[in-house]
Amino acid sequence: MSSTFEELASLHSSDGPLAAIDRLIDALREQKQYHKLFDARLLRRKFELGLPVDRPASLQDVPDDQRKLVEETYVEAAREVGALFLEQDDIPSAWMYLQVIREPQKVAEAIDRLPVNVEPDEKTEELLNIAVFQGVNPVKGVQMMLRCHGTCSTITSLEQALQNMTSEQRQDCAKVMVRSLYQDLQDSVRRHVEQRMPMLPPDATLRELITGRDWLFEGGNYHIDTSHLNAVVRFARAIEPPADEIDLTLQMCEYGAKLDPQLQYGGDPPFVDFYPAHQQFFKALLGQNQDQALQYFRDQLDAEPDEQDKPLLAYVLVDLLMRTGRLDEAVDVAAAYLSNLSDDMAFSFAELCRKANRLDVLQKVTQDRGDLVGFTAALLQSDQPAETEAAS
């Protein structure tokens, strides 16, 4: 190390400061001192521009007219250092740099290459935090968390993280949870059935295992933590058809509906009757007795006596109508109950009207609200081609 100091001093005297800085950068790469390498690259840029170099990585002492030049080097240095840390399998250190420049993809790919089975230590917790809570690779993070911490802890963590995920990430994580819990439940029920019927088909589904066997549930018996079952069924509402996991969830709902009533925890409207309501929800997505399934939620909405609670029920119905291609009816229900929701919610009435080619409804609603801007926007959009044709 002392020889490097001497070399730098010698180069500074003989070849000038830039030669010394370049040798510093090379030495830090060789020594794998990547945090210092980042600082050194900023040091070089600032020196070139005649800026103060006592705080190389700081942007606070950079004038506005030179800020872009320094920021370009900042991004390049962060990208290089992030990649070098990934080569060392140091994902948390790489994320420190790639997060700042908003380039998560390489970190996501590195996490994806990790084994699912990991030891529960401090490093693992850092990785899970990056993968799940910071949204870099939540699906792989959930898979690792299930193996490392089990179902209960994963559900708790996922409840906290879901709101910050994209709809696609929520759906993919829900699929992981559904498959994991379904397998656990199927295995548990199978072991119970085999106590009486040892020669079961090896590929029997959960539905086949419980059909005609109400004795499985006698005396308040259950085969999996019922709070886990409740949570995963809720998660599964994020899954879009077509997906095999929807039918797996429907089977778990069929199981849940057979549990002792004390084990069937209620939900928010329209899922107060938790498992029967969810059976109708997933049947609608699967196209099984779809008219009957949708009517269940129409009836729930019509029967709700409290006007303040109706938007919550209408939201579920509109969501189902949109996902089953019934856009015209979705517009009508939304116009009655959801048109005042702000666009920062998960639902946009204006977007629904565009998709359904029902801008006439959007014009009427905005006019009734006295919304001149919204009304004019609806007029302008009526001159444009519809995004999709309304489903019949």
Say how far apart CA 232 and CA 234 lie, in whole Å.
5
**What integer pLDDT is reported at residue 391 of this predicted model?**
41
Count CA atoms within 13 Å of residue 95 on its CB side: 19
**What integer pLDDT is reported at residue 120 of this predicted model?**
87
279 or 7, which is more confident? 279
Given pLDDT bands bounded at 50, 70 and 90, which one contains residue 34? very high
The average pLDDT across 345-373 equals 79
The average pLDDT across 45-59 equals 89
Residue 212 CB-density burial (10 A; 0-12 exposed, 13-18 middle, 19+ buried) = exposed
Asked if residues 123 and 93 have their Cβ atoms less than 8 Å apart, the reply is no
| DSSP secondary structure letters along 130-196 | IIIIT-SSHHHHHHHHHHHHHHHHHHHHHHHHGGGS-HHHHHHHHHHHHHHHHHHHHHHHHHHHHTT
**What integer pLDDT is reported at residue 389 of this predicted model?**
41
**What integer pLDDT is reported at residue 341 of this predicted model?**
57
Alpha carbon dihedral 142, 145, 147, 149, in 10-degree steps, equals: -150
The sign of the CA dihedral 42, 45, 47, 49 is negative
The average pLDDT across 301-329 equals 90
| DSSP secondary structure letters along 108-136 | HHHHHTS-S----SHHHHHHHIIIIIT-S
- In percent, how much of the chain has pLDDT > 90? 69
Q: Which of 91-95, 120-124, 196-200 holds the top average pLDDT? A: 91-95
The average pLDDT across 290-312 equals 91
218-276 per-position pLDDT tens digit: 999 999 999 999 999 999 999 999 999 999 999 999 999 999 999 998 888 999 999 99
Given pLDDT bands bounded at 50, 70 and 90, which one contains residue 344? very low
20-33 per-position pLDDT tens digit: 999 999 999 999 99
**What integer pLDDT is reported at residue 2 of this predicted model?**
62
pLDDT exceeds 50 at position 388: no
Say how far apart CA 191 and CA 208 lie, in whole Å.
14
Question: Mean pLDDT over all residues of the chain?
Answer: 90
The sign of the CA dihedral 377, 378, 382, 387 is positive
pLDDT exceeds 80 at position 319: yes
The average pLDDT across 45-71 equals 90
pLDDT exceeds 60 at position 345: no
